[in-house]
A = this chain, B = another copy of it.
């Protein structure tokens, strides 16, 4: 039996209509244009226009993140899914993407510090943190631990795109990021929602040069 569904098969047209629908459905209010660009990508990744109301950010996160990437900054991710969501050919300097979570030393460090493997991996982020762009798409404990090591004097990243997801610690870790006052540009999504697709979409938007 031949069944042919009526759907749009042209990828450019799919993108065009998607972004048109997002712009019609979400109220970007007085958001700066370069922040709205990230917001559009975040909404695109999760299919939820209402997520725009939960976004929080510092106004320099797009420009500082983009400058860093152009200058060759490393990208540090908290999990493999976030890494794979990054569109590599959009990166301006063939930037290295580091996922220390998969390092063989992580389980041992987790035992030592009495924390999750995601948090333990942050010990291995330290030597790469300076000027890096950090992308967190999974673990609240990674974001909490990052804030702890930054408060304790670890080198500052250029930007934090912090989108951990879930029921235990996610909302709290993102509020901690918003309130941390550590002088690092950031973007986040309040509440339980988040995830690697959103986090990597935010990175992809930051990486894209709109000028």
Shortest Cβ distance from residue A5 to the other chain B in the assembled complex, whole angstroms: 5
Interface residues on chain A, size class: 35 or more
- Say whether A194 faces chain B, with CB atoms less than 8 Å apart: yes
Q: State which of B84, B176, B191 has its C-beta within 8 Å of the C-beta of A84.
A: B84
Copies of this chain, count = 2
**Distance of A1 Cα from B150 Cα, bound (Å):** 9
Flag if B7 contacts A197 (CB, 8 Å).
no
**Distance of A64 Cα from B140 Cα, bound (Å):** 34
**Distance of A167 Cα from B147 Cα, bound (Å):** 35
- Given the complex, which residues of B lie within 8 Å of A117, measured CB to CB? 11
Q: State which of B4, B194, B197 has its C-beta within 8 Å of the C-beta of A148.
A: B4
**Distance of A191 Cα from B80 Cα, bound (Å):** 27
- Given the complex, which residues of B lie within 8 Å of A151, measured CB to CB? 1-3
Flag if A167 contacts B18 (CB, 8 Å).
yes
| A9-B195 CB under 8 A given contacts A165-B47, A168-B21, A169-B14 | no
Using a CB–CB distance below 8 Å, which chain A residues touch chain B?
A: 1-5, 7-11, 14, 17-18, 21-22, 44-48, 79-81, 83-85, 114-117, 119, 140-141, 144, 147-148, 151-153, 165-170, 172-173, 176, 191-197
The 30 listed contacts between A and B (C-beta, < 8 Å) are A1-B152, A2-B152, A3-B147, A3-B148, A3-B151, A4-B148, A5-B148, A5-B173, A7-B140, A7-B144, A7-B169, A8-B141, A8-B169, A11-B117, A14-B116, A14-B141, A18-B167, A21-B168, A22-B167, A44-B166, A45-B195, A47-B165, A47-B170, A47-B191, A47-B195, A79-B84, A80-B84, A81-B84, A81-B85, A83-B84
